[in-house]
């Protein structure tokens, strides 16, 4: 399982992440060309940050980021509506014609979305996987089930907002291929604890 950290301006934290083999998750607000040349990275759309600030999604900033580095990204998280359910799914669909040339696109699943809704989309688009978003309560409750969906279709599975050793453990048990969080970005001293949980072997997971 691969750990992605939010981009940081701290050289100390970047050095710690690099030494541990972590990657970065850029948004339109955090992208830094110099750092992107040093790390492998993925692209997040910025919807969560806009939601927290009670702002509208900035589609222009997202497109600019895709033009700058989308082709080099490990994956791109399709724009979504936080906790938006079916409306979020339809919004994500509207971006597919623009994003489909990229190597791997992750569909954000949100509160109210079901496997019956998502599975046909994944089957129709070979270069797609699942990004587990949504509210914290829903995410923790549904994490394992979405891992089962992803791996039954042989698709990539990423869990967002994983900021503790316990959530890393849950993501691993759910069969996640990767996760992201801000704890290691903000506090390099937390990295050893997160790394210990990340490297711990699990026998029974959604993948197995």
The answer to whether position 15 is within a domain reads: yes
CATH number at residue 190: 3.20.20.105
CA distance linking residue 15 with residue 119, whole number of Å: 39
The count of structural domains within the chain is 1
Residues 6+ away with beta carbon under 8 Å from 150: 129, 130, 156, 157, 175, 206
Encoding tokens for residue 74? 């490990």
**What pLDDT is stored for residue 187 in this prediction?**
45
Of the listed ranges 15-24, 33-42, 186-195, the least confidently predicted one is 186-195
3-state secondary structure 43-98: ECCCHHHHHHCCCCCCHHHHHHHHHHHHHHCCCEECCCCCCCHHHHHHHHHCCHHH
The answer to whether position 205 is within a domain reads: no
The answer to whether position 70 is within a domain reads: yes
The answer to whether position 208 is within a domain reads: no
**What pLDDT is stored for residue 191 in this prediction?**
56
Mean pLDDT score of the chain: 89
Q: Is the pLDDT of residue 130 over 50?
A: yes
The answer to whether position 108 is within a domain reads: yes
CA distance linking residue 143 with residue 162, whole number of Å: 12
The answer to whether position 204 is within a domain reads: no
The answer to whether position 207 is within a domain reads: no
The answer to whether position 206 is within a domain reads: no
Average pLDDT over residues 73-77: 98
Range of the domain at 179: 2-199
CA distance linking residue 56 with residue 152, whole number of Å: 35
Residue 76's DSSP bridge partners are 43, 105
């Amino acid at each position: 399982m691969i750990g992605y950290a939010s981009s940081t301006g701290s050289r100390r934290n970047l050095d710690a992440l690099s030494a541990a083999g972590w990657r970065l998750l850029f948004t339109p607000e955090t992208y830094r060309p110099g750092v992107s040349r040093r790390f492998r990275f993925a692209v997040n759309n910025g919807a969560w940050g806009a939601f927290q600030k009670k702002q509208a999604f900035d589609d222009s900033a997202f497109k600019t980021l895709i033009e700058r580095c989308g082709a080099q990204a490990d994956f791109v998280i399709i724009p979504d509506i936080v906790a938006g359910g079916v409306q979020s799914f339809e919004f994500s669909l509207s971006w597919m014609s623009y994003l489909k040339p990229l190597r791997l696109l992750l569909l954000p699943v949100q509160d109210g979305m079901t496997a019956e809704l998502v599975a046909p989309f994944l089957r129709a688009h070979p270069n797609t996987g699942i990004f587990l978003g949504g509210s914290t309560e829903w995410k923790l409750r549904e994490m394992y089930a979405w891992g089962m969906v992803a791996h039954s279709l042989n698709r990539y599975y990423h869990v967002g907002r994983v900021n503790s050793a316990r959530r890393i453990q849950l993501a691993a048990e759910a069969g996640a291929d990767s996760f992201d969080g801000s704890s290691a970005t903000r506090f390099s001293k937390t990295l050893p604890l997160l790394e210990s949980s990340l490297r711990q072997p699990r026998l029974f997971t959604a993948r197995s």
